[in-house]
């Protein structure tokens, strides 16, 4: 799942080396934390959060096929 998130986000940003994804599991819920360069936050979030919502939709669809519960946080 971490590789999927990186594959989606890396082409969107100007600083691809600063893309970091970490995972924490708590009671069957896996929380993925996405950290990007400060200048790239707007590109990952998008206007009114549209890009962030689309990224979350794709990741949630992938998690559903694997029968996982996930959450994606963007920092």
Q: Tell me the three state secondary structure of residue 36.
A: coil
pTM over 0.85: yes
* Tens of pLDDT, residue by residue, the chain (75 residues): 999 999 999 999 999 999 999 999 999 999 999 999 999 999 999 999 999 999 999 999 999 999 999 999 999
Name the maximum alpha-carbon separation found in the chain.
Answer: 35
> Among all chains, which residue has been given the structure tokens 């600063």?
18
> All domains of the chain, ordered by start, with CATH?
2-74 (3.30.300.20)
């Amino acid at each position: 799942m971490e590789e999927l998130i990186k594959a989606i986000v890396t082409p969107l940003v100007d600083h691809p080396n600063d893309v970091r994804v970490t995972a924490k599991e708590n009671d069957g819920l896996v929380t993925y934390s996405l950290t990007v360069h400060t200048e790239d936050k707007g590109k990952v979030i998008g206007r009114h959060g549209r890009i962030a919502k689309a990224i979350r939709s794709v990741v949630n669809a992938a998690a559903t096929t694997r029968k996982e519960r996930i959450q994606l946080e963007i920092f």
